[in-house]
Amino acid sequence: VAREPPPQFVCPITHEVMDDPCLTADGQCYSREGIEMWMKARSPATSPATGLVLTSQTLTPNIALRQLIEQWREAHSGADGAAAAGGSDDLQVEGGGHGGAHAGGAVSASSRRALSGLTPADLLGGQLAGRY
C-alpha cells in the first residue's frame, strides 16, 4: 500500500497534505491556511497557478476532497504517521502535529517567511508543474 499521498491531496503552496482544502475563484484547490496567507501577501490577490488577479477572494470548501483525504489518512495511519501526513520538514503547521484527521493550528512563522517571497512563476516552475 502506497504511503505517499496522491499529489491532489498536497497543497501546492505549503507542500503539505491539506486539512481544509478550498477552491479559489479560478477553480484551483489549496489548503485554506496556504491560500489565505498567499492572498494577504498580495494586493490585488492573484492565483498562485496562473498569476492572474482573482475575481473574488471567496474560498469554497472542497468537501469531497477533504473526505477523500480523511479516508486516505485513516487507511494509512499507524506506525509511520509522518509518511501518511506528507509534506516537507521545512514547512510545518503548528499545533496538533501530523497524522490526525486534522493537524489544526496556524502556519508557522518560518513557513510564512519561506512562502512570502514566492511568485507564481516560482510555484509553476516547481511543485505545480504537471499538476494543473
pLDDT tens figures, 47-66: 999 999 999 999 999 999 99
What's the pLDDT score for residue 80? Answer: 52
Is residue 88's pLDDT more than 80? Answer: no
Is residue 92's pLDDT more than 60? Answer: no
User: Would you state the cell numbers that stand for residue 10, as one nine-digit string?
Assistant: 498536497
Mean pLDDT, the chain, integer: 73
Print the SS3 string covering 25-88: CCCCEEEHHHHHHHHHCCCCCECCCCCCECCCCCCEECHHHHHHHHHHHHHCCCCCHHHHHCCC
Model confidence band, residue 1 (pLDDT cutoffs 50, 70, 90): low
Q: Terminal CA-to-CA distance of the chain, rounded, Å?
A: 25
Q: pLDDT (tens digit, 9 = 90+) per residue, 5-46?
A: 999 999 999 999 999 999 999 999 999 999 999 999 999 999
What's the pLDDT score for residue 53? Answer: 96
Half-sphere exposure of 23 (CA within 13 A, CB side): 10
Average pLDDT over residues 89-103: 34
